[in-house]
Amino acid sequence: MSLPPRIQPIQEDFKGLFNHCFETDGGLVLDCYLIYEVEERETRDEPGCAASMELVFALVEGVDISEVLGDLAETIEEEALSDLEDQIQDAAIERGEA
């Protein structure tokens, strides 16, 4: 017998995940946690891949609704990746590297 998935993640579940706040067109605010995959450069042996985000949790008042988001999950992932890239660029500017 398998146990049902946890609907309310615990604090330890968030370790190592990127946090992103997403607001739907209807004004619902989702507290999202995503896995960040760094860009892999192309080599002779591997084709490489672009940086990406994968949604793990989308919380509304602490309850995970990520399984029912459908296509909205991709929108959240794209927005979170763009947000992270902006943060990286801003940090480089602050350090005088850009």
Residue-wise pLDDT for 53-73, tens only, equals: 999 999 999 999 999 999 999
Summarised one tens digit per residue, pLDDT across range 9-49 is 878 888 999 999 999 999 999 999 999 998 888 888 888 88
Domain segments of the chain as ranges: 11-94
Long-range contacts of 32-40 (CB under 8 A, 24+ apart): 32/57, 32/58, 32/59, 32/76, 32/80, 33/9, 33/57, 33/58, 33/59, 34/76, 34/77, 34/80, 36/81, 36/84
